[in-house]
Amino acid sequence: MSTQPIALEMQNVSKRFNSSDFKWLKRGKETAGVLAVNDVSVQVYRGEIFGVLGPNGSGKSTFIRLISTLLVPDAGRVTIFGHDVAREERAVQRLINRVSVEAAFFKKLSPFENLMYGARLYGLGGADARAKIEAILKRLDLRADAIHRPMEEMSRGMQQKVAIARALLTAPILLLLDEPTTGLDPRSKREVQHLVRELRDAHDATIVLTTHDMGEADALCDRIAIIADGKIVALDTPRGLKQLVTRNGHAPTLEDVFMQLTGKQLVTEET
């Protein structure tokens, strides 16, 4: 049991979708008429990088949306640093931010212009916003010649860095990263992973991360929850999870654990 404060707690949380939710479900890869999240209870401690792994349709997208206030649970309770997600939505939104593989921008605008727009939405403005944006962009090692170029001319890796920069404008203490490195080239992926570690180590952020990259989960996460059919089927450190699998002449990997517990391969979703 950790002595750290609890950043996120889910208590017996369930979420079911019906046919009227089909449009959202199609994008989220969940299935109508079933429990997308089924009686889930979990605690994430302050300062953790907490990973969520699951096959397509397992409920991990719903898991993230329930935490981020985009969905309300049908049963159970979700709290962020003691604030109830359903009853204290505004308070929760001040503490969190979310970065997804589908991050949206004004593609004709530059990173700096997109961030200035985001700053205004967050109630930031003037010289303070400009100074904060410049500091964040510098920390993300965005090239000077890229900061004022249209987003549509940038690589996926650069765009994902800008998405993270936008999330940092509010200095969230709980950052939700939903497939943040999907589709990135190896160098951009390493840079984003380095930033994730920095956010936890230097800025006291708690991070919940969904990923399809087993190596990424193994390298970054303090603990990992494996979800299948809406339930958490295992939760432990990467090392602890690997001890669940018979060695069979080689050192077990997270992929071995995943396949044994779910009976499925972890296939990257279409972006």
* Helices first, then strands: H and E counts in the chain: 10, 10
Q: Which domain CATH number covers 72?
A: 3.40.50.300
Q: Is position 69 within any domain?
A: yes
Q: In the predicted model, is pLDDT for residue 259 greater than 80?
A: yes
When divided into structural domains, the chain yields a total of: 1
User: DSSP H helical segments within 178-237, as ranges?
Assistant: 186-203, 214-220
Report the C-alpha gap between 239 and 242 in whole angstroms.
Answer: 5
- Characterize 178-195 residue by residue with b for buried, 16 or more Cβ atoms within 10 angstroms of its Cβ, and e for exposed: bbbbbebeeebbebbbeb
Q: Is position 165 within any domain?
A: no
Beta pairing class for 231-236 and 83-84 = unpaired
Q: Percentage of the chain with pLDDT > 70? A: 87
Per-residue model confidence as pLDDT tens digits over 76-113: 999 999 999 999 999 998 899 888 766 677 888 888 88
Q: Is position 88 within any domain?
A: yes
Q: Is position 66 within any domain?
A: yes
The answer to whether residues 179 and 217 touch, using CB atoms and an 8 Å cutoff, is no
Q: Is position 149 within any domain?
A: no
Per-residue model confidence as pLDDT tens digits over 201-212: 877 889 999 888
Q: Is position 130 within any domain?
A: no
Domain region containing 238: 6-102+172-262
pTM of the model: 0.82
Q: Is position 50 within any domain?
A: yes
